[in-house]
Amino acid sequence: MIKSWLITFKNAFEGIFYAFRTQRNFKVHLVLSFLVIVLAIWLQVSLEKLLFLILAIFFGLTIEMTNTAFEKTVDLITEKYHPQAKTAKDVSAGMMLIASLGLAILGLLILLPPLWQKLFS
């Protein structure tokens, strides 16, 4: 039982490391996430707002990995160009774009007011 859990976690970490090694956007997301957390701490945002930011970060990384998994699955099914494969990949990329825009808006709504106050008060 413990061995199966260890294998499960090993496989999960392999997936995370794969995303980190191969996906430029995953790396960008991690760097921006680190900067957001540092900025939030510097601005002394409330614990509730910090929790929203952390949840948003994990959600964004999860969607990024979902997009990667989806694209790799499509590549496994067909290596040739196919309009439906393109549509599937485009929709997956669009999912990531919508999530990123929503998460960016959330981050701005949380961080912009205290940043404005700190810089201009």
pLDDT tens across 5-19, in order? 999 999 999 999 999
Residue 15 domain-assigned (yes or no): no
Q: How far apart (Å, rounded) are the C-alpha atoms in residues 110 and 46?
A: 10
Residue 4 domain-assigned (yes or no): no
- Give the CATH number for residue 43: 1.10.287.3610
Catalytic entry in 14, 48, 64, 79: 64
pLDDT digits 0-9 by tens, 83-105: 999 999 999 999 999 999 999 99
* Containing structural domain, residue 57: 24-120
Tell me what pLDDT residue 115 has. Answer: 97
Calculate the average pLDDT of the chain.
95
φ/ψ of 116, rounded to 5, equals -60, -45
Q: Please check the confidence at residue 121 and state whether its pLDDT lies above 90.
A: no
Q: How far apart (Å, rounded) are the C-alpha atoms in residues 39 and 119?
A: 13
End-to-end CA gap in the chain: 58
pLDDT digits 0-9 by tens, 36-58: 999 999 999 999 999 999 999 99
Return the number of other C-beta atoms located less than 10 Å from residue 6's C-beta: 10
> Does residue 64 carry a catalytic annotation?
yes
Residue 58 domain-assigned (yes or no): yes
